[in-house]
Amino acid sequence: MTINVGDKLPSATLAKVTADGPDNVSTDDFFAGRTVALFAVPGAFTPTCSAKHLPGYIDKNDALKAKGIDEIACVSVNDAFVMGAWAKANDAANVTMLADGNGDFAKAVGLTMDGSKFGMGQRSQRYSMLVEDGVVKQLNVEAPGEFKVSSAEHLLGEM
């Protein structure tokens, strides 16, 4: 079942990428008491994710923060080392990278996709979420192959 606006995020463990390496964080703790712009990508270093999705959130950091966003986070079904390398390669210091290595969070929110025909296996769908104190306030899920409603620009326009 797919998560909906008004739902509380499910409890899951993600790996937060830090300068000292991976640090496991619970979604309950990470999203508690603040407003987070969360976006999900099918994979780090993939074409649309690298050329459009991540750069949009890097570029719109100040505008999102001005609208009350406490943190911008990106989640992907990749390991923490890949997410860390992707952040470094894109100078994404203002985006918290969250690794969902086994896809448990993607499954828990009901937003998986099968990327097997691309050699990627089960991944996360592309989406953006506005999360306030662990509750989904906005959810923008892309149609397969699209990049429109999950962009930083779209999220800003909805705030």
Q: Which residues contact 63 (CB under 8 A, 6 or more apart)?
A: 152, 156
Whether 49 sits among the annotated catalytic residues: the reply is yes
- Other Cβ atoms less than 10 A from the Cβ of 154: the count is 16
Q: What is the largest CA-CA distance in the chain?
A: 40
Catalytic: which of 12, 49, 72, 73?
Answer: 49
Which residues pair with residue 17 across a beta bridge? 22
Output phi, psi for 94, to 5 deg. -90, 10
Q: Which residues contact 141 (CB under 8 A, 6 or more apart)?
A: 2, 111, 125, 126, 127, 149, 150
Give catalytic residues, as residue numbers: 49
